[in-house]
Every structure is written in C-alpha cells, then in structure tokens.
Structure 1
Amino acid sequence: MRLSLVLAASLMAAGVAHAQTPAPSTDQPLLRTVAADVDPKALESTIRSLVGFGTRHTLSDTKSDKRGIGAARRWTKARFEAISKDCGGCLTVETPSQVFTGRRVPNPTEVMDVLAIQKGTSDPNRVIIIAGHIDSRVTDVMNFTSDAPGANDDGSGVAAVIEAARVLSKHKFPATLVFAVLSGEEQGLLGGKVLADYAKANGWKVEADLNNDIVGNSRGQSGVMDNTHVRVFSEGTKAVETPEQANGRRYNGGEVDSPSRNLARYLDGLADRYLTNFDVVMVYRTDRYGRGGDQVPLLEAGYPAVRVTEAVENYDRQHQDLRTENGKVYGDTIEGVDFAYLAQVTRLNVVAMASLASAPPPPSGVKIEGAVSPDTKVSWAPTPGAAGHRVWWRVTTDPTWRLNRWVPGPAATATLKDVVIDDYFFGVSSISPDGWESPIVFPGPAGSFESPPPAPKQP
C-alpha cells in the first residue's frame, strides 16, 4: 500500500515537472517516412537472388560466379555499390576477413564479411550496426555441396540489411550506420567475430548491433500464425562484467538493465509509436535456449547488441536437407517467407537505426545517491549535443520505464523529492534540441553504453 501511494505521488511530481519545463517534442515524422519507404518486393528480389546461388555454405565454392558463397558475397558487394552510386557515394564498402580453422572448419578458410558504411556527419565514431548472415546450411553442418537455399536463415536477415541500406542512404545522420552482411555464422559465429574485431581495430564506439537472424516467417511449426510480433533477445548482465562489477550489481541491482536490455526497450517503444499493428516481444535471454547468433561475439567484445527473430519459428524449415517425407516438406525454401511480415521487421530496424543515429549519445557517468534519505539524487556527465536530459525511474519489478522528469539545459543532476532510492530503479536519457532521444542508461558499469577501451597492441 505504501509503495502504491509513493508511486502515485511520483506520477504527480513527474507531471508537474513536465508542465513547468516542457521538453522538445519527441515525435519524429522522419521515422514514419523511412518506415513507409520499405518495399516488400525489394526484399523478395534480394532473397530470390540469394537462393539462386544454390548453396552459400561457408566452405562452399568461392571462385564460381554462379554458385557458392563467393558469388553471393560478390553479388552483395555489387548491390551495396549500386546503392552507394544512387546516393552519390555515401557508402564505403569494406570486406574484412580472417582465416579460421576449427571444429566446423577443418581446413584453413577465409571468412569474409561485406560491410557498407555510411559515415556520420558530426559524430562518425559512434556506430549503429544492422547485421545478418549470408551463409546457409542443411542438416549436416559440414555438407557444403548440397543445395542450401537459406531463404529465411538467413536470407531474410540479409534482405533486411540491404533494404535498410537502400532506405537510410537517402538521409544523413550524425552517427555512422553500418550495414553488415556476415559469413561463417553456421560454422561458429565466425563472421560476428570478424565484425567485432574490425570494430575494435577501427575504434568504433558501437552503440547498438541489431542482429537479424531468421526474421521472415510468420507461420510456426505447430501451424500458429503470428505476423504482428517480433522477438528481441537481450542479455541481462554484460558478458564483459568483472567480478568486482558483478558483486556490486548483485547487491544494488542491474540484472535486467544492461545496455542491450535497454536497447530492447528502446525498440519496443519505437514499435509502439511508429509501426502499425506490430509489436516487440522482449525476451530476457541472450538468444533462444541453447542456440546462438552473431550478436554474441559483439557482446563478448563489450558492445550492446540484440538478436531480432520472428515470433514463431518453423524448425522443419531450418537446417534441413531439401526433401518431402510423409507429405511433410522440409527445407529452407522461399515458400516459407512472408514478405509482408519481413517488411514489418525491416521497418522496425530502419526506424531504430534512424532514431539511434539522430539522437545524442546515451549519457555517461550516470550515478545515484540517496541512502538513508527520503530523496534520490541522480547525476550524469553532460552529453554533447543534448538540449537536456530525462531522468527515469520505475518500481524494481516493472519491465519497462514508467516515470520521468525533464531536466533542461546543461544541468547534470536532479533530486527526486520523496522518491526513495531503495524502492526504484533509475536511468537517464539524453535529448537533442529537435527531440531525438537516446536509449536510457542505468547507473554504473551494469548499464553503461560506453565501449570498452581497445586492447593494448602487442609489442
């Protein structure tokens, strides 16, 4: 009862604060524009082209112009170059690679990613990534000769990446956008490692990696149809958390407020505001149970990352030899892709990328104080380019942020009267003069979006 009364008082206080010092409007017509520009037919065309290469297995032919992963990567590079030509050379296409051997790569094999980089206008080191993997497989992960269409896993993700590049390249953004088509996912998340290492080597401040993997099917294996939801998986605690940081987090909270988790909440809010009849289902896991994706190497490098995956999966169409048994069709063919649904997932991505790249960076140095006090003090480092900040708080069992107070100008502290630090979680977002808002940052190392420092060079 007492907590309910305090919550009501907090809501009233937040409303008064807004009435006295209104924040810039956060409604952004640009986000509706980029969402409307997504074309289901363009997505279908991309997947048909990818399926046409027969197999895109990481160990498949790299020399042929018609079959294998080499031909598919060169086609992707050419597609990015054509998009760049249309925007006056706004994209730089890079092909970072590494040679791997391992359990699923018995012989030294070059694993190459294809990246299209749209450099930011004023904050180019801050980077927003969308990724999907181009490689495909059948039942035997080592079978690199049989046809493996990979229409949904992950032709759908690659199509979303290329369509995002086409749509967003028509606009300019303060931060850098990276459209990443990765190889080697099925052989051990190798393309994700290539991307993470490339980001480190180039000093990128990665604010978000949106890994799209299996995003084009709307009919589950059980026959359930769901074309109005998409799952966003996010890690609870940072993969790079130190033992000391873990001890502090266990005592004071933060298990559900990693930057990746608050990035998922950010996507959920954007879907609610800018997409029609389409919602994010947040899943509090790094990935599906016992499975993985290319966001994992990014997380292991200390970058915020989420996995975007369709709401209902059909496992008969994943990692399967092409066949029909007892009237049941197996295999990842284009007939299993719902292009209207894939367009909705792509819209979520382009809206998120445009919003993140337009907003100021998330606040740094967020701290809270208030032990043995009826009030809570929240502080942060002033964010470059921000017109002000919004302080957020929520009851510790709430899944999403509920209460907020606008703090205008260069001020970098706020005292929340009669808001007891023990009973709530707190966070801060930054807002630009034209109303673009960053993700919310939870206090301390558990919630910080700041990229880890680069590893020292070996002598």
Structure 2
Amino acid sequence: MKKTFWLLIAMAAYTCTFAQSPVIIQKDPLIEKMVSEVSADSLHANILKLVSFGTRNTLSTTTDPKRGIGAARNWILSRFNTYAKTSGGRLTVKLDTNNYRPDGKRVDVPVILTNVVATLKGTDPNDHRVFIISGHMDNMRTSVMDREGDAPGANDDGSGSAAVMECARIMSKQSFPATVIFVTVCGEEQGLIGSNFMAVNAKKNAWEIGAVLNNDIMGSNNSNETNIIENTKVRVFSEGLPAVGMDAQKAAAIRASGLENDGPSRQLARYIKETGERYVDNLEVFMVYRPDRFGRGGDHQSYQLQGFTAVRITEMNENFRHQHQNVRTENGLEYGDLPEYMDFEYLRKNTALNLCNLANLAKGPSTPLDVTIYTAGLGGNSTSLLWKAPATGKPKGYYVMMRETTSPVWQKKIFTTDNTIKLPYSKDNYFFAVQSVSTDGNESLPVVPSVLRRTSPAATPAVPPKGQ
C-alpha cells in the first residue's frame, strides 16, 4: 500500500502544473521590521537637501561650502557619520578620492573624483563577501559640461543617492555576517568614471563582491509621450552573458546547455524580484533582459566589466522632460529635474526593495559549492544533483529550484537538508539551480549546476519532496 501511495504521488507530480505547487512564503521578522522603517519623509528631506546645493556637476566647485559637488559630498559624508554613531562601531565612513586628468570627452580640466563610501563590516571573520548598493551624487543640465548653472538633479540621481543613505540609516543599526557597502559615486554623467575607479580597485584588491545594486532614476511615477502614471512597477536591467571571460569553450558550454539567459546578473535580477515582491507590498519587479536602456548606461556596467555581478534598478516609466534638462518652460511644458515631479511613496517602495535584498543576501549563507547535474548515456527521465556545503554560514538546508525552459522566473522550490537529490523531473525539460538557506529563511543567490557526464551517485528516491 505504501509503495502504491508514493507511485500515485509521483505520477501526479509529473502531470500537475507548476501553478498547482504549494507555496509557503517565509519572511524574516528582522527584515520586515527594517522594511517598515523606510520613510518617504526621510527620502524627501534628503532629496530637498541635495537639490539645495544648486548643482552637483562633477566639474563644479569643490571649495564652496554651500554650492557644488564638494558641498554635496561633504553633507553626505556627515549623514553617514551620523549613522555610524549608532552602529556600535560597525559602520566606517571615508572619502575615496582619485585625481582624474582631462580626457578630451566630458572632462576638460583636472578634477578630484570623490566617492563617499560607508562600510558596514560583517560580523563573521571568515565571511569575506561584500554586497554593494550604489547611487551617483553628480548630475547635469542639458550640457554635461555646464558646471555653473542650476541643476536640481532630484531624480537623476538624487533618488538613488537618497535610497543609499536611507538603507545605511536603517541597516547600520543591525549586524550581518557579510559586509554591506553604501556608496554615492561621482562622475557618472562624465562616463561612469567614479564607479569605474571603485570597480577597478575592487578587482585589484580581490574583493569578493556578491552583488551590486545600482540605483539610478527611481523616484518618478510618470512618463512623457505615453502619459502613463503608476507606482506599482520597477525595472531591473541585467546582462545575460557576462561582459568578460567568455572564451570559446565557455560560450560553447553555455550554448549546449541553453543557459544564455542564466548569467550571474540575470540570476541576481530573479533573486531581486522574488525577494522584493515577498517583502514590499504593491510593487512588481519587472525584469528587462538587457544591460540598460538603448543609448544609455549606468554605474553597474563598471562592475560588470570587471567580472562582478551587478544590475540597475530604475523606475518603470521615465519622463525625459525631467532628465538632463535645463529648468524652463517651453510651449506650456515644464522641463527640469525638480522634486515636485517625484513620487516619494514610490521611492519608498523602491528603497525598501533594495533594503530587503541587501539584508537577505548579507544574512544568508554563501552559495553552495560545486553544484553538479549528472548525465550519462541516454540520460533518463529523472534529474540527479549534487553539491557541497557553502564556505561560510550554517545553512539549515538547501532549496533546489526549478523552472520550465521558457519561464523567466524560478517556479518551484524543493527543500532538502541533504547535499544530493534525485527528482522525478527530466533534466531535458527544465532548468535547475541550488541555493543555501538559513534558519531565518535567508537565501543565497542560486547556483546553476555544471554538467558531469557519468553515472550519478546514490541519491534520495525519485519522489516529489514537499514543494515551497
């Protein structure tokens, strides 16, 4: 009777759809609490202060105490230092400075590039992972070389900078096994030079960057031309194949397995969608499968070019009358990046999206190691996976993730405490991945298995475990 029962269960599993799989959402109470602390009023106040500096053009004055990028970065530094006082010594703050020579493009005089960096050191001395949230403090008028005229820069990128500061304010009161870095960079409008300086240094110093969340233009709810107004969707841009390290052998392996849509940044985008929609109400994460908008770029690309996993988070409906524009009125239409064209409740939700993802990653174990899928001979109609425990953290177990090959998101999670599993699903019909999970439900990023072409080891019986 018992054998017949499991056989019937297995047959049902093969015929049922993913939509029928039970879903159990586990929320971490600490992350829920931090998300509830994100304040639209705090974000609004920070943006008004950033706008008050007149211009934050990278080429603007660095000596005036009330105007220009120098005054803006000093104020951001002071805010980070305020947060550091309540961090129990975990948050340290610095100005990361580099001299940049004229490049004949968007820099015509020598400039001192200064990023403001706040580092929340991880509590596990064996955990060297780093997770970064970034926004750019600089802005521009219609001409990127105009360093004198007023440029409010409320949304581009006061919104991203304010989100970074708000996450630092809240997260600095807590501790995490991994390190979280909050950074506002300069020189984005001059060609991503501030983020490139940081990314190159990170590569040189062998930082173990797990993910970079770049926030740029994320606080307006409406678009020109289409006149769409809504604040329930946000875009995440991610590259498919890595920007570097793609030799012919790696490209052939990706093509053979059909993993063109499963690069590290694409996996991060899926993770952001799942985690964000778990913790932030009335917000849908809309994944865009390209590195950025046509003809545009952002600071995440500096990290991608160094081989790091990075994405861009930006508003769903852009209004180009309020980007890179001198403040003016033409034909009855107002131009300029002013705070009155922003939606601060929308910015609150997008900031909370960042916070819950950073916290979930930094609290969770590192990724499982040596994840492998077994294939041998004709293969068969089951799937065997094997992996090793993560280098850091003590997971309560692992999620084996599944999705149909045409699905943009993971559709099924199967929990196990073992390091091997055999599933009654054909490896030819689905994509699989494995992620570590903590006792609080904090997941690592998913790891797609590499292929091992030999007979699989002994594994758990080919019956469908409880879905999640």
Same fold flag (TM > 0.5): yes
Alpha-carbon distance in structure 1 between the residues aligned to 2:405 and 2:450: 16
Alpha-carbon distance in structure 1 between the residues aligned to 2:14 and 2:48: 54
Name the counterpart of 1:200.
203
- Counterpart secondary structure, 1:193: helix
Aligned-residue offset at 1:84 = 0.6
Q: Note closer, same or farther for the CA distance 1:378–1:286 as it changes in structure 2 (3 Å cut).
A: same
Q: Note closer, same or farther for the CA distance 1:194–1:336 as it changes in structure 2 (3 Å cut).
A: same
Name the counterpart of 2:465.
none
Aligned-residue CA RMSD in angstroms?
A: 2.4
Alpha-carbon distance in structure 1 between the residues aligned to 2:71 and 2:107: 20
Aligned partners of 2:213 and 2:354 also within 8 Å: yes
Q: Per-residue displacement from partner, 1:426-445 (whole Å, max 9, x unpaired)?
A: 11110123322112122249
- The letter for the 2-side match of 1:377 is S
Q: Note closer, same or farther for the CA distance 1:327–1:422 as it changes in structure 2 (3 Å cut).
A: same
- The letter for the 2-side match of 1:376 is T
Percent of pairs identical after alignment? Answer: 44
Q: Per-residue displacement from partner, 1:254-285 (whole Å, max 9, x unpaired)?
A: 21111211111111112322111111111111
- The letter for the 2-side match of 1:168 is M
Confirm whether residue 406 of structure 1 aligns to residue 415 of structure 2: yes
Name the counterpart of 1:454.
none
Alpha-carbon distance in structure 2 between the residues aligned to 1:28 and 1:195: 32
- Counterpart secondary structure, 1:96: strand
Alpha-carbon distance in structure 2 between the residues aligned to 1:33 and 1:242: 42
Aligned partners of 1:91 and 1:119 also within 8 Å: yes
Name the counterpart of 2:401.
392
Confirm whether residue 320 of structure 1 aligns to residue 322 of structure 2: no
Aligned-residue offset at 1:380 = 2.1
Q: Per-residue displacement from partner, 1:6-63 (whole Å, max 9, x unpaired)?
A: 9963587999x999xxx9x832112211111011111111111111111100111111
- The letter for the 2-side match of 1:172 is S
Matches within 5 A, 1:164-243: 164-221=167-224, 222-243=226-247
Matches within 5 A, 1:196-345: 196-221=199-224, 222-243=226-247, 244-345=249-350
- Counterpart secondary structure, 1:86: coil
Aligned-residue offset at 1:403 = 2.6
Name the counterpart of 1:37.
37
- Counterpart secondary structure, 1:26: coil
Name the counterpart of 1:142.
145
Name the counterpart of 1:116.
118
Alpha-carbon distance in structure 1 between the residues aligned to 2:127 and 2:321: 43
Aligned partners of 2:18 and 2:411 also within 8 Å: no
Q: TM-score, normalised by structure 1?
A: 0.89
Alpha-carbon distance in structure 2 between the residues aligned to 1:314 and 1:428: 39
- The letter for the 2-side match of 1:204 is W
Alpha-carbon distance in structure 2 between the residues aligned to 1:30 and 1:160: 19
Aligned partners of 1:295 and 1:306 also within 8 Å: yes
Unmatched tracts of structure 1, length 5 or more: 1-5, 446-459
Q: Number of residue pairs matched?
A: 433
Q: Note closer, same or farther for the CA distance 1:402–1:255 as it changes in structure 2 (3 Å cut).
A: same
Aligned-residue offset at 1:370 = 2.0
Aligned partners of 1:316 and 1:331 also within 8 Å: yes
- Counterpart secondary structure, 1:113: strand
Rg comparison, structure with higher value: 2
Q: TM-score, normalised by structure 2?
A: 0.88
Alpha-carbon distance in structure 2 between the residues aligned to 1:365 and 1:119: 27
Aligned-residue offset at 1:422 = 1.7
